[in-house]
Chain A
């Protein structure tokens, strides 16, 4: 498996850390970002292969970020996983054309499967 870049954005430090810990084993490069306002800049700089986004984040929410990604020609086909503890998370993810939705708390194996599928 070639080395890919995964950008993770969540406003919760613990989630960022544990996602990094899990995905690290895949051998991919993990780019954690706690401030959603920085996502665009990081994307432009790092050109990630996959983005994992939380929904409820201060100032700029996950669905707003996703809309921005889907309307930016360069990124419109970029795989994006929405990850949320919100009840209507799946609905929001589908409405904004996310590639996948994973409910919090997530299952280790399920997460790896979804990530694996989207990267190949």
Chain B
């Protein structure tokens, strides 16, 4: 070959030696590790390496020269890149691979290796050039990315599984619940129906989903009350709660249903969809009715022998021999008293049962209010000679109410005042007009109650702690009173202080519950 590469490397006309020095310096300045191997010697020993190669591998020049460059692979001999490298060298081709190499101190680094053969004039390969770059950082980032992608995919898979699980769970709840559920779109077309609905109303899913609600099963759902509910109530953004609808279905007969409806206001794919829950309470109502019937019959049957006993007792009381002892007369009186108590317990039980099932019917009629109160007071006064019941005030009105119920409340409040004030002798009853209501207050100077008790005193079966120990009773009297006054659209409340007596008051609308409701 003529002068070195046609003088290309005779920089600035320097000598060959100077130019070679410059070239070596340039190679040493490179950040890529560069080696030359001698292909003519066995096992391709390294015959040249630049400083970057020393730096890259951590090996000293004397540990490098003469070795085959596979020492960089340490014990990591099973990489597929090795075969590519081997084949390239064997075939005298260039190749570029990324291979795991190990530094002198054992640290792994990723080597971006480019290998190219050097041929002489006859085409024979004399050397190989290896150019290496440490791409560990890039590999790490790549690996991190890959890992992150894998873990992201894993998380997404988990979340999706979770979602699917909870959706399946929710669906199973919806399908299992013993209440008919319908989802309607804004035009009242059925989007979905659960299996209880399908079963209860004896329809099929195909006949239901996609159909307009009213058109279901030959228009049997075209119920005026239901239309009103969906068209009038729902658009006002009020949920429909426990709306009772009775309807005679052509195939399954008369059903009493409790409807609850809710329109989804939330923005999104479900907006304006309507959830309609339909509870079939036909059987429940029937059971309630039977319970009422049973209690009516039971109380009637219990009262029959009680009537006889009471009758005989009254006959006996009126025929007490002149020479009877005081003990005899007192005992007779006690027996009579307990017969009355037994009677009121039977009546109260029936009352509670009726109130609970909402079956208390009001027979409203005009009542001379003042007269009714006066009579009630008089009635109790005769049976409580140790107390003085003082009636004050007047209303001079006739009110529309169920007289027997109001008398029951008056009796209960006044007897309570007597019962819980055994040591005081006066009970004050005051009546007055307040706006369109009449008001009654019953004041005693008895044991009174704590503020805790005043909150709970109208609850069913509630009895004050002290009261529980000192006075007999079941704790249903005031509950019944409260329900009766509520039925009349009035209010019943108590003001009381421990040890200072209580005042129970109630108001009643003069014109009956219907008018009171509309106001």
Give the interface of A toward B (CB within 8 A): 12, 14-15, 17-19, 21-22, 56, 85-87, 90-91, 104-108
Nearest 8 pairs of A and B residues by beta carbon: A18-B311, A14-B308, A85-B303, A108-B314, A105-B307, A104-B307, A105-B310, A85-B300
Encoded as 1 (CB less than 8 Å from any A CB) or 0, chain B from 272 to 315 comes to: 00000000000000000000000010011001111111111011
Taking CB atoms, residues of chain B closer than 8 Å to A22 are 311, 314-315
Residues A86 and B300 in contact, CB atoms below 8 Å apart:
yes
Q: A12 touching B304 by the CB < 8 A rule?
A: yes
| Contact indicator B299/A85 (Cβ below 8 Å) | yes
Instruction: Select from chain B the residue with minimum beta-carbon distance to A108.
Output: B314
Q: Are B305 and A14 neighbours in the complex by a CB distance under 8 Å?
A: yes
13 A-B pairs in the complex with CB atoms less than 8 angstroms apart: A12-B304, A12-B305, A14-B304, A14-B305, A15-B307, A15-B311, A17-B308, A18-B315, A22-B315, A56-B300, A85-B300, A86-B296, A104-B304
- With a cutoff of 8 Å between Cβ atoms, the chain A residues found around residue B309 in the complex are 105
Other than A17-B308, A22-B315, A86-B300, give 15 A-B pairs with Cβ distance below 8 A.
A14-B308, A15-B304, A18-B307, A18-B308, A21-B311, A22-B314, A56-B300, A85-B299, A90-B404, A104-B307, A105-B310, A105-B343, A106-B307, A107-B314, A108-B311
A18 proximity list for chain B (CB < 8 A):
307-308, 311-312, 315
CA distance A13 to B29 in the complex (A): 130
A91 partner residues in chain B, CB cutoff 8 A: 363
Question: Which residue of chain B lies nearest to A94 when distances are taken between CB atoms in the complex?
Answer: B363
B300 touches A108 (CB 8 A): no
Q: Which residue of A lies closest to B318 (CB)?
A: A108
B306 and A87 contacting across the interface, CB-CB below 8 Å: no
Q: Which residue of B lies closest to A89 (CB)?
A: B300
In the complex, which residues of chain B have a beta carbon less than 8 angstroms from the beta carbon of A14? Answer: 304-305, 307-308
Residue of A nearest to B305 (CB): A14
Which chain A residues lie closer than 8 Å to B310 at the CB level? 105-106
Question: B363 — which chain A residues lie within 8 A by C-beta?
Answer: 91
Separation of A64 and B308 alpha carbons in the complex (Å): 24
Distance from A49 Cβ to chain B, minimum over Cβ atoms (Å) = 22
What residues of A have a CB within 8 angstroms of the CB of B300 in the complex?
56, 85-86
What chain B residues lie within 8 Å of A56 (beta carbons)?
Answer: 300
Q: Which of B303, B317, B318, B404 contacts A105 (CB 8 A)?
A: B303
Say yes or no: is B339 at the interface (Cβ < 8 Å to chain A): yes
Q: Are A12 and B350 in contact (CB under 8 A)?
A: no
Could you tell me if A85 and B304 are in contact, using CB atoms closer than 8 angstroms? yes
Complex: A118 Cα to B315 Cα, angstroms? 22
CB distance from B360 to the nearest CB of A (A): 10
Taking the nearest CB of chain B, how far is it from the CB of A8, in angstroms? 12
What separation, in Å, do the CA atoms of A85 and B317 have in the docked complex? 23
Q: Which residues of A contact B304 (CB under 8 A)?
A: 12, 14-15, 85, 104
Which residues of A sit under 8 angstroms from B317, Cβ to Cβ?
108
Is the CB–CB distance between B307 and A85 below 8 Å?
Answer: yes
Residue-wise interface mask of B (304-346) relative to A, using a CB-CB cutoff of 8 A (1 in contact, 0 not): 1111111110110110000000000000000000010001000
**Bound complex: CA A87 to CA B307 (Å):** 14
Q: How far is the CA of A12 from the CA of B308 in the complex (A)?
A: 9
> Which residues in B have their C-beta under 8 angstroms from that of A87?
296, 299, 350
Complex Cα–Cα for A115 and B314 (A): 17
Residue in A closest to B295 when the chains form the complex, CB atoms: A87
Chain B CB within 10 A, most for which of A18, A86, A91 = A18
* Measured CA separation A62–B427 after assembly (Å): 42
By the criterion CB–CB under 8 Å, are B314 and A104 in contact? no
Query: A114: shortest Cβ distance to chain B, in Å?
Result: 15
Contact among B296, B311, B315 for A106, CB-based, below 8 A: B311
Bound Cα distance from A106 to B308, whole angstroms: 9
B188 to chain A, nearest CB (A): 43
Determine the distance from Cα of A19 to Cα of B305 in the docked complex, in whole angstroms: 13
